[in-house]
Chains A and B, each alone.
Chain A
Amino acid sequence: MRIGVVTFPGSLDDRDAQRAVRLAGGEPVPLWHGSHDLEGVDAIVLPGGFSYGDYLRCGAIAARSPIMSEVIDAANAGLPVLGICNGFQILVEAHLLPGGLIRNDHGSFVCRDQVLRVENASTAWTNGFAEGQEITIPLKNGEGGFIASAEDLKRLEGEGLVAFRYVGVNPNGSLDDIAGLTNPRGNVVGLMPHPEHASEPGFGPDTPAAMRSGVDGLTFFTSVLAHRMAAA
């Protein structure tokens, strides 16, 4: 299975996402923002970072870059797309997911090991989790506060489109503790925390078992591989 990872100018966690794909058993395919070619990949990751310096609004310029027109079409046709952090912001700016992401309520960038609850375990990227499962994924952002209109929020909650919720601490003032969303079809998922940083033993978050041993994030990538295998 070939999973594309898009590099925009200012992408930072693109190589980490590629590594996570590899660790999950997939083949990472680097994709370039200025190209219109998705190279026939089976799924796409929009990685974290500060694409285009996050000028204007986080993700706003990247959402209008050449490759995104292909990504949007492919997503609408059902191709699995995962947006991580800046990637989530890009998905929102591209209207593939609703709402917006604003400056953290406390005003500072925050890097922490964050507990999440998986609220929807039936998407392309979460089918390896159990619904209600609590997982620990590193979070690192300055603009991760999720907002949405009351109407959108009601729809998201009502239709089960909240994919992840912050547990214990709401690290950025997100409404309803929302950490991540899915589209109704379940192929497009976006979240602020970074699953690729909880994918390799020794380099993930601390767990009660051992330091830096957390690999809950790997399940995102094994989930999409399983999803595509099932479809194939």
Chain B
Amino acid sequence: MSTPVVDSVSNAAATPGKEQPYEALGLKPDEYARIRELLGRRPTSGELAMYSVMWSEHCSYKSSKVHLRQFGQKVSPEMTKNLMVGMGENAGVVDIGEGWAVTFKIESHNHPSYIEPFQGAATGVGGIVRDIISMGARPVAVMDALRFGALGDPDTARVVHGVVGGISFYGNCLGLPNIGGETRFDPVYQANPLVNALAVGVLRHEDLHLANARGVGNKVVLFGARTGGDGIGGASILASDTFSEGGPTKRPAVQVGDPFAEKVLIECCLELFAGGLVEGIQDLGAAGISCATSELASNGDGGMRISLDEVLLRDPTLTAEEILMSESQERMMAIVQPSKLEGFLAVTKKWDVETSVLGEVTDTGRLVIDWRGETIVDVDPRTVAVDGPVYERPVAYPAWLDQMQENSAATLPRPADGAGLRKDLLHLVNSANIADTSWVTSQYDKYVLGNTALSYPDDGGMVRVDERSGLGFALATDANGRYCYLDPYAGAQLALAEAYRNVAVTGATPVAVSDCLNFGSPENPEVMWQFSRAVEGLADGCLALGIPVTGGNVSFYNQTGDVPIHPTPVVAVLGTIDDVGRRVPSGWQDAGDNLYLLGATALELDGSAWAGVVHGHLGGRPPAVDLGREKALAGLLAAGAHEGLFNAAHDLSDGGLGVALVEGCLRFGVGARIFLDELLERDGIDLATALFSETGGRAIVAVPREEDVKFTRLCEGRGYPVLRIGVTDAGPASGAALDVQGAFSIPLDELGAAHRAPLREAFGA
């Protein structure tokens, strides 16, 4: 083995003509030229490593930035009044009252989860949880929005077992309850599953921490797991450039997670925060030390000097470039006052967390990194972390879209008799995307921490924040790729509306949004058009609802072969509730309650579950969006929940009223007798439309008889359409059924068996 050549700054200046593998690292020729211009010389291999990874699509948002700006521009005072930290930090922070704040974020780990499903999904959870800790918060729950290929495809089982196993392994071992999410199947995700992990944390206002390196002379401290060769990806190219034979072998590009190390790190960080021992903090995720140092320095006094020799290594043969790029998990970087360093080290020692001081904050405006006696990086950190390239990618209206939109599902044959309706409803209940997903969720701990007030299968998850007052929050995630495919602007707004409604039915009031925007290649102008329309729809939608986007993530290049996935903007909505004791479940609990349908129903079957499942059809235009109506419905639901008028409330979405009724019955095994004549007459629709249309702004509520008058008055006062459509009927013991009078009756046993079967048959009991 030959001695590695240290590519120092002086060496770079002296060898301007050295060829560098910038293209293999993903940089374009003009980007490489820009780096040379910024530095006034060629970059060292360490600098090249930093720029290549920080200027990647994943870290720099170079294709999406020009569109994402709308989230900052389309803002009203109503949206910012409770916002403590907005987009751009590790995660947004929302004031929820009583001195408490909530921080939450959803992020993708799609590509690693296809290559290595178990570790890809596990480290997805680990990464998003560290973002939450970085804000000074205690993580209190996780959720995940998952999309896989066709249920019957053999490769789907490989990915599902790995992803669910990885989330279960990591999340359970961290002691964070998994309170909900989504599991969807569609062939468009066959070779490109979506694994979007959400984490949420709580903190007292005064505990807020930000990722900045302020205070000249303050120490830069790396703590947590040792730095190893995992997740290096492109750096191995540089390694092979500087090492000859006998050098390190190619290492896994997917990181390996150790939830035990992360659990200890969480407790250690919280003790450090409580002791006031940290000035600034940043987690190490994508781009590892490159990202943490350049971001901390950019956000602070602008300078930092560190020595890579101080980094504790798992593998002493790592090169400087590999150390800079390593994505080893469970590491954090803190800025610590010299006078507090001793206290800091005492806490990390207590938790057996390895710690090393790498250097200190300076006011030079330069990020300087030394290794083996040479300076190998000397850059303006803002050019690495902030002022990366920005692209206005070309957009093109998809050539196929008009034809697709003309092909409406309204022309499909709809069953008119009871037997046909019964068959279609059972078909839906037995289909991959409506089926019971407890095969997945029963592998997650929902109890730990003892504050879970709602979780799957309720419409949203809910967690208590304050044990004395009962203050809490609710969360739901939603996205309908089929709608977005037909109209990305409307589709994004429908995802927002559904998540918003799912929070509202729990009794909480929606207050903030995080999004994970999953799309195909930004270099495909039609995909870029979908992206721009979806972002515009979401930004306009948030403005209309008066709730801000607090952060999120963009994932491009999601495609199977050359075919992009359906545009899938996953929207997470956070709501607050002043007492979780007033929460409302999604199914009826007692016999004898009146069931009311809130909202009107129109013939809107385009993109519906019914069209897809029964007819294999996708075409037309998604249901009309009316965010004013959504806001009015949410207001009504919150008011009703506050007065304790509901025994249940359930949002209508995929599969329409029919599926909502089934889910309402199956939640606690209580049946229902439904009469729809009045609805058909009022809305001028047929029975199939009443049962399967996916018109927005609708929910079913179960109202105990003694609250009937109050409830009716509430609806009248707010002028919201409401109709009594039935009563809850008979509990589990007495042969309960869903009985749609004049049409069909289905025993709950039969519905339950159909609902449970698909995932269990595909993946094992």
Contact = CB atoms under 8 A, between A and B. Distances in A.
A167 interface: no
Contact of A110 (B443, B448, B668): B443
B14 interface: no
Interface string B477-491: 000000000000000
Contacts of A200: 450
Interface in A180-211: 194, 196-197, 200, 202-203, 206, 208, 210-211
Given A12-B263, A106-B765, A110-B442, A194 B447 contact: yes
A49 interface: yes
B589 interface: yes
B585 interface: yes
A140 B447 contact: yes
A53 B352 CA distance: 13
Contacts of A12: 173-175, 263, 448
Contacts, number: 89
B453 A203 contact: yes
A128 B764 CA distance: 39
Interface in A83-108: 106, 108
A16 B449 contact: yes
A2 interface: no
B723 to A, nearest CB: 26
Interface string B167-178: 011001111000
Nearest to B173: A50
Contact of A196 (B450, B453, B731): B450
Contacts of A208: 731
A106 B172 CA distance: 18
A111 B445 contact: yes
B397 interface: no
Nearest to B258: A53
B444 A111 contact: yes
A200 B450 CA distance: 8
Summarize A's interface: helix, strand, loop or mixed. Answer: loop
B165 interface: yes
Given A12-B175, A111-B445, A202 B453 contact: yes
A100 to B, nearest CB: 21
B512 interface: no
B260 A140 contact: no
B473 to A, nearest CB: 15
A112 B467 CA distance: 24
Contacts of A54: 260
Interface string B225-267: 0000000000000000000000000000000001111011000
A19 interface: yes
Nearest to A34: B350
Contact of B449 (A15, A106, A211): A15
Given A203-B451, A212-B453, A50 B765 contact: no
Nearest to B261: A53
A94 B368 CA distance: 52
B447 A210 contact: no
Interface string A42-54: 0000001110111
**Which bucket holds chain B's interface residue count?**
35 or more
Interface in B429-481: 441-453, 464, 467
B449 A140 contact: no
Residue from B264, B448, B450 whose CB has the most chain A CB atoms within 10 Å: B450
Contacts of B173: 10, 12, 50, 53
Contacts of A55: 260
Nearest to A18: B450
B581 interface: yes
Contact of B450 (A16, A111, A206): A16
B404 to A, nearest CB: 40
A203 B450 contact: yes
A216 interface: no
A48 B451 CA distance: 16
A66 interface: no
Contacts of A78: none
B351 interface: yes
A140 B445 CA distance: 6
Given A140-B172, A210-B589, A9 B264 contact: yes
B507 to A, nearest CB: 13
Contacts of B453: 202-203, 212
Contacts of A197: 447-448, 450
Contact of B175 (A13, A106, A202): A13
B580 interface: yes
Contacts of B260: 9-10, 50, 52-55
Given A13-B175, A53-B173, A140-B172, A109 B443 contact: yes
Counting chain A CB atoms within 10 Å of each CB, which of B264, B448, B467 scores highest?
Answer: B448
Contacts of B261: 53
A138 interface: yes
Given A12-B175, A109-B443, A111-B443, A203 B585 contact: no
B581 A49 contact: no
Contacts of A203: 447, 450-453, 464
Contacts of A53: 173, 258-261
Contacts of B258: 53
A197 B447 CA distance: 7
A108 B168 contact: yes
B161 to A, nearest CB: 9
Given A15-B450, A194-B447, A10 B765 contact: no
Interface in A1-50: 9-10, 12-13, 15-16, 19, 48-50
Nearest to B763: A108
Nearest to B168: A109
A197 B445 CA distance: 11
Contacts of A211: 585, 589, 668
Contacts of A111: 441-447
Contacts of A109: 168-169, 172, 443-445
B160 to A, nearest CB: 12
Interface string A139-164: 01010000000000000000000000
A196 B351 CA distance: 25
Contacts of A206: 668
A48 B447 CA distance: 12
Interface string B56-67: 000000000000
B450 A202 contact: no
B580 A202 contact: yes
Interface string B136-173: 00000000000000000000000000000100110011
Interface in A207-227: 208, 210-212
Contacts of A112: 442
A50 B263 contact: yes
Contacts of B585: 211
B714 to A, nearest CB: 23
A19 B467 CA distance: 10
Q: Which of A9, A49, A197 has the most CB of B within 10 A?
A: A9
A15 B564 CA distance: 46
Nearest to A51: B260
A147 to B, nearest CB: 22
Interface in A43-83: 48-50, 52-55
Interface in B274-292: none
Interface of A: 9-10, 12-13, 15-16, 19, 48-50, 52-55, 106, 108-112, 138, 140, 142, 194, 196-197, 200, 202-203, 206, 208, 210-212
16 contacts: A9-B260, A12-B175, A48-B448, A49-B175, A52-B260, A53-B259, A108-B165, A109-B169, A109-B172, A109-B443, A109-B445, A196-B450, A200-B450, A202-B453, A206-B668, A212-B453
5 cross-chain pairs, A with B, having the tightest CB-CB distances, nearest first = A53-B260, A12-B175, A197-B447, A16-B450, A50-B173
Given A202-B580, A203-B450, 19 more contacts: A9-B263, A9-B264, A10-B263, A12-B175, A19-B467, A50-B172, A50-B260, A53-B173, A54-B260, A108-B443, A109-B443, A109-B444, A140-B172, A142-B168, A196-B450, A202-B453, A202-B581, A208-B731, A211-B585
